[in-house]
Amino acid sequence: MSYSFIEVGAKARHTWREYNYYAATCKGYGSIPYTEKSEIVTICSAVMREKESKKFCSLGEMDYYWFNADEYEILVQDDSGEQFWTEIESLSIFAEISDLSYENLMTLRTEITVGSLYLSDYENSFGVDENFLCALCDDYNEYLYEKFGEEAREHDTPEEFASFAA
């Protein structure tokens, strides 16, 4: 049993799977493998389906709630405003970059492509929002060019990124 807490109003990545199924064709049967799809959702409620979670604390305008991740579903809302219940395991809560240690920031730098125009190049295992990282990396690039000029690319290291982002 795992317990955690959740922030109402937090952004999360909701991932779901489409499982294998067999399709009849004129040549027989074919298998179509599962794919994972994801979207950004907002956590709407800490009141889990059929049960209530316990309020942990309030910080500013945010309330934090304990929940048992093995038993509950949670109410989320997609960008179109549609709300639906989902398993907690299908959510990845976006982390704040300020929550990451220096070592984690160095690892984060190895997972992303600084300067890329594609948000998918900023996906990471720490759950930091891709839009935020894209903007941060734009600032990081400017910092490198201001500090090192034409040699900026040579100084783009995980250590330099971690120092900048910390």
Q: Are residues 82 and 41 in the same domain?
A: yes
Q: Please write the tens of the pLDDT for every residue from 113-149.
A: 999 999 899 988 888 888 899 999 999 999 999 999 9
Rounded Cα–Cα distance for residues 71 and 154 (Å): 49
Name the pLDDT band for 153 (thresholds 50, 70, 90).
very high
Length of the chain: 166
pLDDT at 70 over 80: no
Q: Are residues 42 and 67 in the same domain?
A: yes
Q: Evaluate the CA torsion angle 38, 131, 114, 94 in order and state its sign.
A: negative
Q: Name, in order, each residue with C-beta under 8 angstroms of 29's C-beta and a sequence gap of 6 or more.
A: 22, 23
> In whole angstroms, how far apart are CA 54 and each of 14, 46, 70, 87, 150?
23, 9, 15, 18, 55
Query: Which of 74, 93, 112 is the C-terminal boundary of a domain?
Result: 93
Region 152-163 average pLDDT: 95
Query: Which of 93, 128, 152 is the C-terminal boundary of a domain?
Result: 93
Considering only CA atoms, which of 52, 51, 67, 50 is closest in space to residue 7?
67
Region 66-77 average pLDDT: 64
- How much is the pLDDT for 131? 87
Name the pLDDT band for 5 (thresholds 50, 70, 90).
low
- How much is the pLDDT for 35? 58
pTM (predicted TM-score): 0.54
Q: How many domains does the chain have?
A: 2
- How much is the pLDDT for 56? 56
Q: Are residues 76 and 118 in the same domain?
A: no
- How much is the pLDDT for 164? 96
Region 93-119 average pLDDT: 89
pLDDT at 81 over 50: yes
Rounded Cα–Cα distance for residues 90 and 152 (Å): 39
Of 30 and 101, more confident: 101
> In whole angstroms, how far apart are CA 42 and each of 47, 93, 100, 151?
14, 10, 22, 41
> In whole angstroms, how far apart are CA 5 and each of 15, 61, 67, 99?
19, 16, 6, 15
pLDDT at 109 over 90: yes
CA dihedral 139, 142, 146, 150 (to 10 degrees): 150
Q: Are residues 105 and 154 in the same domain?
A: yes
Query: Which of 59, 93, 127 is the C-terminal boundary of a domain?
Result: 93
**Residue 133 sits in which domain range?**
97-165
- How much is the pLDDT for 76? 81
- How much is the pLDDT for 156? 96
Name the pLDDT band for 1 (thresholds 50, 70, 90).
very low
